[in-house]
Amino acid sequence: MCGIVGVSLCSPRLSAAPELLEASGLLQHRGQDACGIVCGNTDGVVNVHKGKGLVNEVFSSLTSRLEGNFGIGHVRYATNGKFTNMQIQPVIANERGDIAIVHNGNLENTKQLRNHLSSIGLHQNTDMGDSELMLELMLSRKPSSRNCCGSGTGPVPRWIVEGLKDIYAHCVGSFACVFFIPSYGLVACRDANGIKPIIVGERRIDETKVDYMFTSESVTFCNLGYTALGDIGPGEAVFVPTVTAGPGHSRCISQQIVPQRSYSPDIFEYVYFARVESIMDGISVNRMRRFTGEALARTIMKTRSAHGDKFSYDEIDCVIPVPDTSFVCALAAAQYMSKPLSFGLVKNRFVSRTFTLPTQKERSKAVSRKLGTVQEEFEGRNVLIIDDSIVRGTTAVQIVAMARRAGAKKVYFASGSPAIRYNHIHGIDLADQSKLLAYGRSDDEVAEALDCDRVFYLPLEDLIKACTRAKTRGDISSFETGMFNGQYTTRTVAVE
């Protein structure tokens, strides 16, 4: 999971860096490990800066030195538990035309990609990541002449299209990418299953002058005055040449590079990753989380007749959301059950998301720094705590313990998504399946591990229904749900 952005402004006199930085800050929730931007202009000048840390830490007073009216930006979350300076994006091909890439997603066949590149005469470093390998596939089609806009007629050079075809032909997994090509412009593409999100928007200055932006989430459009043109479709690429390559509104060119295999967005994007203001693939994150809250409430209310014990939702005194992504879900659940919503957990807003930290030790320490309790909201009450998901259980275990210390009589814990019992192979650091709390455990065993009185999960069919109900446009055929049921869009055999 990462955040990507691309900006192309209508005048060569303008600077894209301020908007790239602001957009990257708006996507900061998608990754806090590192960030970077690359900017350029129509003369082929390229400026780059990147480093470890948050956007406001890496970029302080550098904006004026990052000249160029088009560029790309990235905020990084380490998807494989390992993290080196080489992996900080944008990845740029220095001394080979300074072509760069930002990438969100995860490729499953990096070993095969290295073998392929070696077979065509390109030596590969064994620690190259998937982003570098995709860039190499593109570079393998680049003409040797300095003018990389050549080798083809029309607004899209032939070598770029051929490079994209190679990426689709050889890469297995998920990807949403934006390429920065000096003297040409920006090229965005999405995998043929549409797993990872990428949206294109425009900002019209007048009839002939238009700015364009690519982004992982639509939240960046609202804050910067852009209007969404639509989601890039599975197997589709969108080209935005520089201002000298075409007049005004004609700069945005769409081309289907390969046929669509499916339209299967990663459903966990809506559960956890995305900001509540965003609309991705036509699905309102806010509406979807509201619908999951109502469905979760129905599940809890039905539990009374499904178990032989004396549980009844009537004994719940209040609903307490885990800040921040569960607020909408918890509010909807509380309203549906006619229970008061209580803000018993308080978040320290200066602490980043714990789920995206690379090690278990760091995650555990961060939870105690991130959350505090309002004792009077727990003391002597039966509380229902709602979070968006339960992954490793790091946060949930400590929250239950905090609720007990604050004097709660009974602690029920509910997840706004199904039990996560399988790896997430599309860009999240969940490589070790055995570390998932629900792996190999029944719901009662999960409750015992959390030391709570009962645990509730939203059924997968209800999560899918919530996403479908929240859709206002688009032709989504299915969702990527492998982390919940072991059935991955990019694999033909389900995981046991």
**Binding residue positions for Mg(2+):** 325, 387-388
Take residue 150 and report the two structure tokens written for it.
């050549």
DSSP E strand boundaries for 53-123: 70-76, 91-92, 100-107
Task: Spot the catalytic one: 2, 148, 149, 171.
Answer: 2
The Cα angle at residue 278 between residues 274 and 283, in degrees rounded to 5: 95
Residue with tokens 């629900």: 438
Q: Other C-beta atoms within 10 Å of 65: how many?
A: 10
Task: Name which of 268, 405, 409 is nearest 345 in CA terms.
Answer: 405
CB-based contact 415:460 (threshold 8 Å): no
Give Dmax (Cα) for the chain.
77
Region of residue 69 (phi > 0: left; psi between -120 and 50: alpha; otherwise: beta): alpha
> CA-CA distance, 293 to 314, in Å (whole number)?
17
DSSP E strand boundaries for 250-402: 253-256, 279-280, 283-284, 318-321, 345-347, 371-373, 382-387
Q: Which residues contact 265 (CB under 8 A, 6 or more apart)?
A: 194, 195, 197, 280, 281, 283, 476, 479, 480
CA distances from 82 to 131, 273, 367 (A): 15, 20, 21
2 among known catalytic residues: yes
Work out the burial of residue 299: count CB atoms within 10 Å of its CB; fewer than 13 is exposed, 13-18 middle, 19 or more buried. middle
* Strand, coil or helix: 456: strand
Active-site residue set: 2
